[in-house]
Chains A and B, each alone.
Chain A
């Protein structure tokens, strides 16, 4: 889910790293779509279905996602797992554990019947 830029060069906290993407905060939906497209390509996320949040940031706010966040939604539509907001709360390792648990990938093998 592409959301509002966290560190645009015209924002309050521009990126510190020299090799960080130099992005202006999109002011229109068309601009946001362009940056989202560049983001997916630049971060090699083409294999993952992607969405672009609308300019009112409604989904961003509904999920309290800024600047980045992870959620795992179960087949019943309910939140199974979530991490905190990034950067300190961003927890991809925790999400992997949650996914494996949800899919039963770490269940102990069944014992052999005697």
Chain B
């Protein structure tokens, strides 16, 4: 009996036939993968925008820790060389929180935003942002050295004892430009009240 079964046992069983591909299911799977990839890229962009806003003088975030700041820079650093180039920056930054200098509310181009970032943090002026340069900028702004960059520390303006930035602006309505320095030359202290109607 066993001999009769041997040929049957020796045969390699045929694998079950593949069910015919369902093009609709395939398309849905591909779309799902694309959506997941897009969500991941958007999360990375949001993360990049948050670090820009937190470190580089926007004030819409809560406090930023030093380690989180470094983690955000690592997110930019695609080739992991501890520096962020313009190409790495452009890949993640969909828009910039900085206003256009051209007098409208359109977001700045990535090139313009990069120029602003380099001005703030590129200490050795080599055109790339090293992680330690960003951390040095963080430490400089962390006035109480507690490893936490608060809203007020992030965007501090001139410090007590520093020269007040001069400017020349027009009054509301019509009128000639007047500079802060001209006002100071009149020999009295000047109180500056910044604000808006709302």
Binding site for B on A (CB under 8 A): 1-8, 15, 20-21, 23, 25, 27-29, 33, 35-40, 42-43, 48-75, 77-82, 84-86, 89, 95, 99, 102-103
Q: Mark B84-101, 1 if CB is under 8 A from A, else 0.
A: 000000000000000111
Interface residues of B toward A: which range? 35 or more
**Is A78's CB under 8 angstroms from B164's CB?**
yes
Of B23-31, B39-47, B122-130, B186-194, the segment with at least 4 beta carbons within 8 Å of chain A is: B186-194
- Contacts A6-B198, A64-B156 given; 15 further ones with Cβ under 8 A? A5-B198, A7-B198, A28-B103, A49-B183, A53-B169, A59-B165, A62-B165, A63-B194, A66-B194, A68-B196, A70-B193, A74-B189, A75-B189, A78-B161, A85-B155
* Pairs A–B under 8 Å by Cβ, sample size 26: A1-B193, A3-B196, A5-B196, A21-B197, A21-B198, A38-B197, A48-B193, A49-B171, A52-B171, A57-B99, A62-B165, A62-B167, A64-B156, A66-B155, A68-B194, A69-B194, A70-B194, A71-B192, A73-B192, A75-B184, A77-B163, A82-B159, A85-B59, A85-B152, A99-B191, A102-B189
| B160 interface residue (CB < 8 Å to A) | yes
Q: Mark B168-191, 1 if CB is under 8 A from A, else 0.
A: 011111000010110110011111
- Name the CB-closest residue of B to A98: B191
Contact of B103 among A21, A40, A56, A81 (CB under 8 A): A56
Chain B neighbourhood of A21, CB < 8 A: 197-198
**Is B161's CB under 8 angstroms from A66's CB?**
no
User: Separation in Å of the B65 CB from the closest CB of chain A?
Assistant: 20
Contact of A43 among B57, B162, B192, B197 (CB under 8 A): B197
Chain B neighbourhood of A7, CB < 8 A: 198
A21 to B198, CA, bound (A): 6
| B151 interface residue (CB < 8 Å to A) | yes
Chain B neighbourhood of A52, CB < 8 A: 169-172
Chain A neighbourhood of B20, CB < 8 A: none
Binding site for A on B (CB under 8 A): 57, 59, 99-101, 103-105, 151-152, 155-167, 169-173, 178, 180-181, 183-184, 187-198
User: Separation in Å of the A86 CB from the closest CB of chain B?
Assistant: 8
**Is A63's CB under 8 angstroms from B198's CB?**
no
A36 to B175, CA, bound (A): 13
Chain B neighbourhood of A81, CB < 8 A: 160
User: Separation in Å of the A55 CB from the closest CB of chain B?
Assistant: 4
- Name the CB-closest residue of B to A17: B198
